[in-house]
Amino acid sequence: MSSTVTMATRTVEVSGAWAGGTWIDAAVLAHAHRSARGGFDFTVRSAEVADALVAHGLASRVDGRTLRGSATVVDVCDVAPPRRPQPEQTVQAAREVRGWCSSTHHVEPVRAVVEGRRGRSAEDPWAEDVRLCGRCADLLGDAGFFQVA
C-alpha cells in the first residue's frame, strides 16, 4: 500500500491504494473507514476519487461528492497491525516505589510505580533519575525516552 513518488528532485514516501486507474490516498481510505464505523457522511475533493470509491464498493454516494463509507472498506481496513516482537524480560522481585510521578503532564499528583532514567537516549549525558506512573513509563518507554532502573 506504499509507493514512492519523485517530485522535482525530492523523493517522497506516499501510502494509499490503486482503485482501478485512480490513486486513493491512505488518508481518504481512513476517512471512509471512520465514516463507515461512525455512520457519518464525508466529502472528497475529486469527483474522480469519489467515483472510484463508489465503483469499488468502498463507499456509497449520498450526493455529488458526498459519500458514506461502506462495510467493504471496514473489512479491507480492519487488518490487525503486525505485532512487534517483545524482548524477553527477566522477572524481578517487585520493589515498592514511593512518591509521585515526575511528569508535569498530570493535573493532580499520581502515584509513581516505577523508577528509571528519563533522557533523549540511553547515552544522554543529561538523563535524570525519575519516578513515573505506569502510563507515563509506557509512553516514554515506547518512544525510547525512559529506561527502567
User: Would you kindly state where each structural domain of the chain is located, as residue ranges?
Assistant: 2-77, 95-149
pLDDT, residue 83, reads 61
Q: Does pTM top 0.75 for this prediction?
A: no
pLDDT tens per residue across span 69-104: 887 776 766 655 556 666 655 555 556 788 999 888
The whole-chain average pLDDT of the chain stands at 78
Q: Which residues pair with 63 in a beta bridge?
A: 66
pLDDT tens per residue across span 23-51: 888 888 888 888 888 888 888 888 888 88
Q: Which amino acid is at 35?
A: S
